[in-house]
């Protein structure tokens, strides 16, 4: 009798293990059948995010190391799971931000970006891989995030945030994170957050510096309270012009994630009236205490003049992108194409090629016969460089048998600075240096690489 009882118990345990294994297998199968990520090309209404009644055993294990923090605890974790966050921009800031929010168990992540992944993004936009080149950044970021935590609901938006869609989108989220890369989008996101009453966790980075503030939060200022007027477009440097060390937006995106998690968990952010600045060169953080929101602010003030979204590209005088603008400062006869310049080279016509890029860019690549004088040195009339230019012009004059206006061609990366340099050189011609005929090479070295010499590097 006792023997039979014993063997039944063993059998039962065996079956229990079998059932547990089957359950586990089923769960994994269900997970792998999770609906494919659907890329949203427009804003659509979302179902409300439902609060979890309690943490599952899997949740407890997954989040155990943060559940142990008295600052978060079970309540904070449940709060995270019912919070939705819109990430505006899946680039250098958005990637680390989305990664940590997903890892921490945020409920829903809207991932917005209109752009596609490029090779030059990968040094800082760390959710995208080599195999994602040419794919929508929003989708690439969403699939990376899902690999990390499949319980987070991810909504990739492949669209440009605009005055037409911003309110409808932002109203559907609890917290907005500005990870954008241009001035018009920063004002647009700010105004949309003020108009819909959402906290805006905003970070930015360039070169070796970063900034972070939480706007429109518990009586603190909005972006317009601090910066009522946009910077003049010609003073704005973007990452494709000025460069950025990838880890700097990485640090700022992580700080942004920290503030989002503090707000989402219910603890609250400490950056509502604070501008945190990171100086990567000195490895220093500085915090500037800010004023509360301003009664005379155009959007969050007592008598706002901005009561609906406006045209931010007009307001800022620049396009809502970090791509370089194409300047048109010169007439047609002051410019030649890269193909024209190629035939001048092929004919061995005597001339001077002046490369006006900063030295750091010349070190990346240059045409071997060019003379480098950066635009800023021309503008400031650096005497050594002007002297050098004059010497080269004199040599050229000898080659051209005394041509009274020998030809000088000016080149840069994309053909904007070179146009400015042509204007400067035309002023100098005949007074500060001998008379010259100056022309711009349209489209610069990147056009040269694209149409004349495919082996020339692009950056």
113 annotated as ligand-binding: yes
Smallest gap from residue 315 Cβ to other proteins (A): 13
303 annotated as ligand-binding: no
Smallest gap from residue 237 Cβ to other proteins (A): 7
Which structure tokens are listed for 377? 């040195």
Cβ neighbours, 10 Å, residue 125: 28
**CA 191, 222, 46, 51: dihedral to nearest 10 degrees?**
-170
Q: Which of 199, 249, 250, 272 binds other proteins (CB under 8 A)?
A: 249
The site for other proteins, by CB under 8 A, has a size of 46
Q: Is 244 in the site for other proteins (CB under 8 A)?
A: yes
Q: Quick check: helix, strand or coil at residue 453?
A: coil
Q: Of 139, 146, 68, 138, whose CA–CA distance to 103 is shortest?
A: 146
Strands 153-157 and 108-112, sheet pairing: parallel
Q: Which of 154, 239, 271, 316 is catalytic?
A: 239
Cβ neighbours, 10 Å, residue 213: 27
Smallest gap from residue 107 Cβ to other proteins (A): 24
What is the C-alpha separation between 210 and 299, in angstroms, rounded? 25
What is the C-alpha separation between 13 and 7, in angstroms, rounded? 10
Q: Which stretch binds other proteins (CB under 8 A): 57-65, 154-162, 225-233, 363-371?
A: 225-233
95 catalytic, yes or no?
Answer: no
Closer residue to other proteins, CB minimum distance, 200 or 449: 200
137 annotated as ligand-binding: yes
165 annotated as ligand-binding: no
Tell me the C-alpha to C-alpha distance, in Å, between residue 211 and each of 93, 201, 278: 11, 11, 6
Q: Quick check: helix, strand or coil at residue 51?
A: coil
Closer residue to other proteins, CB minimum distance, 178 or 361: 178
Q: Per-residue x/- marks for other proteins, 306-325, CB under 8 A?
A: ----------------x---
Q: Is 260 in the site for other proteins (CB under 8 A)?
A: no
* Helix 137-148 / helix 94-104 crossing angle, nearest 10 deg: 30
Q: Is 205 in the site for other proteins (CB under 8 A)?
A: yes
Q: Which of 112, 236, 408, 410 binds other proteins (CB under 8 A)?
A: 236
What is the C-alpha separation between 443 and 326, in angstroms, rounded? 9
Q: Of 154, 155, 161, 172, whose CA–CA distance to 114 is shortest?
A: 161
Q: Which stretch binds other proteins (CB under 8 A): 60-68, 150-158, 278-286, 302-310?
A: 278-286
Q: Is 233 in the site for other proteins (CB under 8 A)?
A: no
82 annotated as ligand-binding: no
Closer residue to other proteins, CB minimum distance, 226 or 344: 226
The residue written with tokens 């890269």 in the block is 338
What is the C-alpha separation between 12 and 19, in angstroms, rounded? 10
120 annotated as ligand-binding: yes
What is the C-alpha separation between 228 and 90, in angstroms, rounded? 27
List the interface residues with other proteins, window 174-203 (CB under 8 A): 178-183, 186, 203
List the interface residues with other proteins, window 362-391 (CB under 8 A): none
Smallest gap from residue 454 Cβ to other proteins (A): 30
Tell me the C-alpha to C-alpha distance, in Å, between residue 153 and each of 102, 360, 381: 9, 43, 58
Q: Is 300 in the site for other proteins (CB under 8 A)?
A: no
Residue 123 has φ and ψ, to the nearest 5°, of -70, -15
Q: Is 291 in the site for other proteins (CB under 8 A)?
A: yes
The one-character DSSP state at 85 is E
412 catalytic, yes or no?
Answer: yes
Closer residue to other proteins, CB minimum distance, 187 or 409: 187
Q: Which of 41, 232, 268, 430 binds other proteins (CB under 8 A)?
A: 232
Q: Which of 76, 92, 105, 374 binds other proteins (CB under 8 A)?
A: 92
Q: Is 138 in the site for other proteins (CB under 8 A)?
A: no
8 exposed, middle or buried (CB, 10 Å; 0-12, 13-18, 19+)?
exposed
Cβ neighbours, 10 Å, residue 420: 20
300 annotated as ligand-binding: yes
Annotated binding-site positions for Zn(2+): 222, 225, 297, 300
Annotated binding-site positions: 92, 113, 120-124, 137, 181-182, 222, 225, 297, 300
Annotated binding-site positions for ATP: 92, 113, 120-124, 137, 181-182
Residues marked as catalytic: 239, 412
Which residues form the interface with other proteins (CB under 8 A)? 89, 91-94, 178-183, 186, 203-206, 209-211, 226-232, 234-239, 242, 244, 249, 275, 277, 279, 281, 286-291, 322
């Amino acid at each position: 009798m006792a023997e039979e009882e014993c063997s039944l118990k063993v059998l039962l345990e065996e079956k229990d293990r079998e059932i547990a294994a089957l359950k586990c297998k089923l769960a994994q199968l269900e997970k792998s059948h999770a609906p494919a990520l659907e890329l949203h090309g427009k804003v659509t209404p979302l179902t409300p995010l439902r609060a979890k009644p309690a943490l599952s055993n899997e949740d407890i294990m997954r989040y155990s190391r943060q559940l142990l923090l008295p600052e978060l605890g079970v309540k904070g974790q449940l709060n995270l799971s019912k919070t939705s966050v819109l990430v505006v921009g899946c680039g250098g800031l958005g990637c680390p931000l989305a990664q940590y929010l997903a890892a921490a168990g945020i409920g829903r992540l809207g991932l917005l970006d209109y752009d596609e992944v490029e090779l030059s993004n990968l040094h800082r936009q760390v959710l995208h891989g080599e195999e994602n080149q040419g794919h929508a950044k929003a989708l690439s970021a969403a699939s990376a995030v899902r690999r990390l935590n499949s319980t987070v609901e991810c909504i990739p938006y492949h669209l440009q945030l605009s005055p037409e869609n911003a309110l409808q989108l932002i109203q559907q989220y609890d917290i907005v994170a500005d990870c954008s890369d241009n001035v018009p989008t920063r004002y647009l996101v700010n105004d949309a957050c003020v108009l819909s009453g959402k906290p805006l966790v905003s970070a930015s980075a360039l070169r070796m510096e970063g900034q972070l503030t939480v706007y429109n939060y518990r009586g603190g200022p909005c972006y317009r309270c601090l910066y009522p007027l946009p910077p003049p477009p010609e003073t704005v440097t973007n990452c494709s012009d000025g460069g950025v060390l990838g880890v700097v937006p990485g640090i700022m995106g992580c700080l942004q994630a920290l503030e989002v998690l503090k707000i989402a968990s219910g603890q609250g952010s400490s950056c509502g009236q604070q501008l945190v600045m990171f100086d990567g060169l000195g490895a220093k953080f500085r915090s500037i205490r800010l004023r509360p929101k301003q009664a005379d602010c155009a959007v969050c003030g007592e008598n706002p003049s901005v009561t609906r979204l406006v045209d931010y590209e007009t307001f800022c005088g620049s396009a809502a992108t970090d791509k370089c603008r194409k300047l048109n400062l010169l007439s047609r006869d002051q410019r030649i194409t890269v193909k024209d310049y190629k035939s001048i080279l092929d004919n061995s016509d005597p001339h001077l090629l002046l490369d006006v890029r900063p030295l750091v860019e010349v070190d990346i690549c240059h045409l071997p016969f060019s003379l480098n004088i950066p635009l800023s040195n021309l503008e400031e009339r650096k005497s050594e460089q002007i002297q050098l230019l004059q010497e080269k012009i004199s040599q050229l004059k000898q080659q051209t048998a005394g041509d009274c206006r020998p030809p000088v061609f000016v080149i840069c990366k994309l053909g904007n600075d070179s146009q400015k340099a042509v204007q400067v050189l035309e002023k100098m011609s005949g007074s500060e240096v001998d008379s010259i005929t100056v022309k711009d090479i349209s489209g610069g070295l990147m056009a040269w690489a694209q149409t004349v010499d495919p082996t020339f590097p692009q950056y």
